[in-house]
Amino acid sequence: MRSPTEKDRELISRALEFARKAHGDNKRMSGEPCLAHLIETAKNLANLKADKETISAGILHDILEDTDIKREELEKEFGGTIVFLVDGVTKLGKIKYRGLERHAESLRKLFVATAKDVRVLLIKLADRLHNIKTLQYINPEKRRRIALETLEIYAPIANRLGMGHMKGTLEDEAFPYLKPKEYAETLELRQKKTHELAKTLEKVNRIICKKLAKEGFTKFWTDFRVKHLYSLHKKLERYEKDIGKIFDISALRIITLNNKDECYRILGIIHNMFKPLPERLKDYIAVPKPNGYQSIHTVVFSGDGEIIEIQIRTEEMHWEAEFGIASHLVYDEANKPKSGGSLDKKIKWIKQLFNWQKNIEGSEDFLENLKTDFFNDRIFVFTPKGDVIELPIDSSPIDFAFQIHSEVGNHAFGAKVNGKMVSFDTKLKNNDIVEIIVKEKSEPSQKWLEFAKTTDAVKHIKIALEEKSKCRNL
Ligand code: MN
């Protein structure tokens, strides 16, 4: 992370001047000048530590849609990269497309552009973040649509790219518009619980800091984190509203400036002082979440009748968890992101999204399948080697097989879950270890279509069945 240079400022002020002239006195629904929205979008991008091209494109992002400026003019003034970024977030024309269709196709266009340059998506998220914060000025019907879309599409994208802060904020801003009653309840509950636990957390924090200092730890800091509202609401639903089972409404965080070994040493020290609830220990350092999230979570008895969660991570893991893909987007001279382990994984997911959309015809299918395949509730299962495979909820071993490779799916003969043979229509659960037995002669059957969940599996099964019937007709 670096501070902006003179040259960065020059480009950004030029973009601002250009936008000021083009948008003139145009106002938004809120009565605010359009320019205010553009500046807020740019600020959001700056908070994500975006580079000068991205920030400038953020300032210019509505220019093709809302003013008379043409692509060519913009290109002459700012060059190909910035035009590409702006065009990527520009919706398709109203004339050719209508309503839902325009909406789905614009989203598809966004994914295509994002596959080429992920900064397009950052601009879209920064734009949406300001829009959702100013939703009260929009008419109720549009308001609901934007809130729903934020919750169902943009927040899950941010989550998948490891942008924890963005995901949490988008959800919490959309939440009151979709479920006002639940929003108010959750807010009240959180305030009450945070207040109740504050003293205990502070006390435990003091004890731990003192002990760590005594043991020679110098490079660490701690803070308290409060759970985002929407994620608390979802967790409450999962636990049938039993607040007694949720221990992470507010939690103590310990962040070390050293490496992960130190996280385990700190964990040892904590468990030595406070008795843990063993089944609540989660080691996301050894087994990161599929979006790259790393941390150790442990739940302990505080000693004065409370139960609290403590999270331990390195500083690097911390920034990664807050900003995700944005924390990696350092571009080299050729405008290519510098690669690295967890960034490559996230980019791979974007490529999957890109390849997936190519195979979906029609706008309505597009939105529906997008939700089941990528954004609805997911489960995580393991291969026998310990690789994590992510699937939609209620997936079958057949979905798993096709997720591994189309050839594994096409020749699946049997399946084992946690070491036991199961039928193909078994519903997989979180943390299952799944193994597919493959036989050369085995092929997909019509019956599989009754329980296959993923678009990818359904597609491959249909192709295989068609091939088979062709052969029979020859
Ligand atoms: Mn905008």
Here the tokens at position 126 are 């920064």
The whole-angstrom separation of Cα 391 and Cα 407 is 18
Give pLDDT, residue 283: 95
Rounded to whole angstroms, the Cα distance separating 370 from 109 reads 14
Residue 474: predicted pLDDT: 62
Distance from Cα 204 to the centre of ligand 1, integer Å: 45
Model confidence pLDDT, tens digit, residues 134-191: 998 888 888 999 999 999 999 999 998 889 999 999 999 999 999 999 999 999 999 9
Provide long-range contacts, Cβ within 8 A and 24+ apart, for 43-47: 44/125, 44/126, 44/129, 44/130, 45/122, 45/123, 45/126
Q: Are strands 378-382 and 307-314 parallel, antiparallel or unpaired?
A: unpaired
Closest CA to 71 of 60, 85, 83: 83
Tokens at residue 111, please?
């994914």
Span from the CA of 130 to the centroid of ligand 1 (angstroms): 8
Distance (Å, whole) CA 387 – CA 428: 16
Are 308 and 251 spatial neighbours (Cβ–Cβ below 8 Å)? Answer: yes
d(CA 413, CA 331): 46
pLDDT value for 106? 87
Please check whether residue 380 is in contact with residue 401, taking contact to mean a CB–CB distance below 8 angstroms.
no
Active site residues: 65-66
Q: What are phi and psi of 296, to 5 degrees?
A: -105, 130
- For residue 20, the tally of other CB atoms under 10 A from its CB is 15
* pLDDT tens-digit readout, 322-337: 888 887 775 555 555 5
pLDDT at position 222 over 80: yes
Q: What is the pLDDT of residues 230-273, one digit of tens each?
A: 999 999 998 888 888 899 999 999 999 999 999 999 999 999 99
**pLDDT(192) > 60:** yes
**Residue with the larger pLDDT of the pair 95 and 106:** 106
The tens digit of pLDDT for each residue in 63-87 reads: 999 999 999 999 999 999 999 999 9
pLDDT at 39 over 70: yes
Distance 92 CA to ligand 1 centre (A): 14
- Give the residue among 188, 171, 170, 164 at the shortest CA–CA distance from 253: 164
CA of 125 to the centre of ligand 1 (A): 10
Strand pairing partners for 222?
Answer: 254
Q: Is the pLDDT of residue 228 over 50?
A: yes
pLDDT at site 331: 55
* Tokens (6 digits) for 331: 């571009």
- The Å distance, Cα 124 to ligand 1 centre, comes to 8
